[in-house]
Structure 1
Amino acid sequence: MTARGWFLFSLMGVVWGIPYLLIKVAVEDLSPAMVVFTRCALGALLLLPFAIRQGGFVRTVRAHWAPMLAFACIEIIGPWFTLTDAERHLSSSTAGLLIAGVPIVGVLAARFLGEGEMLGARRMTGLAVGLAGVGVLTVPHLTGGDARSLAEVLLTVVGYATAPLIAARRLKDVPTLQLIAPCLTLSALVYATPAALTWPDAMPSASVLSALAALGTICTAIAFIAFLELIKEIGPTRSTVITYVNPAVAVAAGAIFLDEPLTAGVLAAFALILAGSVLATAAGPRRDRRPVTWSTRQTSRADGRVESP
Structure 2
Amino acid sequence: MTARGWFLFALMSVVWGLPYLMIKVAVTGLPPAAVVFVRCAVGAALLLPFALRQGGLGRVLRAHWRPMLAFAVLEILIPWWTLTDAERRLSSSTSGLLIAAVPILALVVARVPGGRFGAAERLGVRRLAGLGLGLAGVVVLTAPQLSGGDSRSLLEVLITSLGYAIAPLIVARHLKRVPTLQLIAPCLTLATLVYGPFAAAGWPSTAPTGQVWISLAGLGVVCTALAFVAFLELIREAGPARAVVITYVNPAVAVGAGVAFLGEPLSAGVLTAFALILAGSILATASVPGDNPPAPTPAEPRAPADRLRS
- What is the TM-score with the length of structure 2 in the denominator? 0.83
- The residue aligned with 2:245 is 241
Query: Cα offset for 1:262?
Result: 2.9
Deviations 1:127-181 (A, max 9, x none): 6666666666555666566121111111111111111111111111100000000
- Aligned-residue RMSD, C-alpha: 2.8
Aligned with residue 149 of structure 1, among 142, 145, 153: 153
SS in 2 for 1:297: coil
SS in 2 for 1:290: coil
Deviations 1:9-60 (A, max 9, x none): 2221211111111111111111111000000000000001111111211211
The 2-side partners of 1:148 and 1:268 are apart by: 23
The 2-side partners of 1:264 and 1:151 are apart by: 23
- The residue aligned with 1:11 is 11
The 1-side partners of 2:36 and 2:291 are apart by: 45
- The residue aligned with 2:75 is 75
Aligned with residue 217 of structure 1, among 221, 228, 232: 221
SS in 2 for 1:53: helix
The 2-side partners of 1:297 and 1:273 are apart by: 36
Aligned pairs for 1:197-212 within 5 A: 197-212=201-216
| Contact 2:47–2:185, Cα closer than 8 Å, also in 1 | yes
The 2-side partners of 1:137 and 1:248 are apart by: 14
Unaligned runs of at least 5 residues, structure 1: 300-309
- The residue aligned with 2:256 is 252
Matched letter for residue 70 of structure 1: A
Aligned with residue 177 of structure 1, among 174, 177, 181: 181
State which drifts further: 53-62 or 143-152: 143-152
The 1-side partners of 2:214 and 2:286 are apart by: 37
Query: Cα offset for 1:282?
Result: 6.2
| Contact 1:93–1:247, Cα closer than 8 Å, also in 2 | yes
Query: Cα offset for 1:290?
Result: 2.5
Q: How many residues align structurally? A: 296
- The residue aligned with 1:60 is 60
Matched letter for residue 219 of structure 1: C
SS in 2 for 1:59: helix
SS in 1 for 2:249: helix
Aligned pairs for 1:119-158 within 5 A: 143=147, 146-158=150-162
Provide the identity percentage.
67
Deviations 1:95-133 (A, max 9, x none): 111112211111111111521497787777666666666
- The residue aligned with 1:23 is 23
The 1-side partners of 2:111 and 2:120 are apart by: 9
Flag the 1:138–1:238 CA change in 2: closer, same or farther, 3 A: farther
Would you say 1:191 and 2:192 are equivalent positions?
Answer: no
Matched letter for residue 10 of structure 1: A
| Contact 2:40–2:189, Cα closer than 8 Å, also in 1 | yes
Matched letter for residue 225 of structure 1: V
- The residue aligned with 1:302 is none
- The residue aligned with 1:303 is none
Deviations 1:193-240 (A, max 9, x none): 001111121210000000000000111011111111111122112322
Query: Cα offset for 1:281?
Result: 6.6
- The residue aligned with 1:95 is 95
| Contact 1:110–1:237, Cα closer than 8 Å, also in 2 | no
| Contact 2:91–2:264, Cα closer than 8 Å, also in 1 | no
The 1-side partners of 2:7 and 2:127 are apart by: 19
Query: Cα offset for 1:279?
Result: 6.3
Aligned pairs for 1:38-53 within 5 A: 38-53=38-53
Flag the 1:275–1:154 CA change in 2: closer, same or farther, 3 A: closer
Flag the 1:266–1:81 CA change in 2: closer, same or farther, 3 A: closer
| Contact 1:5–1:230, Cα closer than 8 Å, also in 2 | yes
The 2-side partners of 1:36 and 1:51 are apart by: 21
The 2-side partners of 1:74 and 1:264 are apart by: 33
The 2-side partners of 1:43 and 1:49 are apart by: 11
The 2-side partners of 1:20 and 1:142 are apart by: 21
The 2-side partners of 1:234 and 1:280 are apart by: 18
- The residue aligned with 1:166 is 170
